[in-house]
């Protein structure tokens, strides 16, 4: 197995994904997962690939960097361990969606993520937009949290609700299945 994670960072512009995936295709890499986002005007992309045996992370990084020389992208290639999940592998527990809205304050993500970590739950996805001020629709955090069977969900959710109340935030906690069912209606 020669599974790699490739991180691409740089100022956003049209064509970054097309260029990187074309370069990976040219190198005979099989793309397994892609996740990309734009934060303000910055591109961040994560590509999981299965590379041909004999093609090292260093060789791929050198080739990608050479092909993208001068266009402002920072590329990092790292081998994944043997315990890397395969395509479509699910996290170990149940996924809950936790959303807060309310006035912006420093340390919101640190406070909520610390509570989640202290209950041994894992954040698998986080999106946060803070435009500042007290407009509740301008400041939103949305967590997807993997909660395994050994986590006391009532204590976790109570701690999150208490922190939200302390910070004057509205909080919504839903199991992903309920969220999905509601949004299909």
How many Å apart are CA 38 and CA 19, to the nearest integer?
16
Instruction: Count Cβ atoms within 10 A of the Cβ of residue 16 and give its class: 0-12 exposed, 13-18 middle, 19 or more buried.
Output: buried
- In sign, the C-alpha dihedral spanning 90, 96, 99, 100 is negative
Mean pLDDT score of the chain: 89
Neighbouring residues of 90: CB distance < 8 A, sequence distance ≥ 6: none
- Structural contact between residues 97 and 179, judged by C-beta atoms closer than 8 angstroms: yes
The pLDDT value given to residue 129: 85
pTM of the entire predicted model: 0.74
Residue 93 pLDDT exceeds 50: yes
């Amino acid at each position: 197995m020669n599974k790699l994670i490739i991180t691409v960072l740089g100022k956003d512009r049209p064509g970054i994904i097309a260029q990187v995936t074309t370069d990976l295709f040219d190198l005979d890499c099989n793309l397994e997962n892609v996740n990309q986002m734009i934060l303000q005007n910055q591109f961040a992309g994560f590509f999981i690939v299965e590379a041909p045996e004999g093609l090292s992370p260093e060789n791929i990084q050198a080739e990608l960097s050479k092909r993208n020389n001068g266009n402002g992208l920072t590329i990092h290639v790292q081998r994944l361990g043997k315990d890397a999940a395969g395509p479509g592998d699910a996290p170990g527990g149940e996924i809950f969606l936790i959303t807060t809205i309310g006035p912006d304050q420093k340390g919101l993500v640190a406070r909520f993520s610390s509570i989640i970590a202290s209950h041994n739950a894992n954040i698998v996805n986080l999106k946060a937009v803070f435009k500042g001020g007290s407009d509740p629709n301008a400041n939103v955090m949305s967590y997807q949290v993997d909660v395994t069977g050994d986590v006391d969900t009532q204590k976790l959710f109570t701690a999150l609700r208490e922190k939200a109340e302390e910070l004057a935030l509205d909080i919504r906690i839903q199991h992903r299945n309920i969220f999905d069912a509601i949004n299909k209606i």
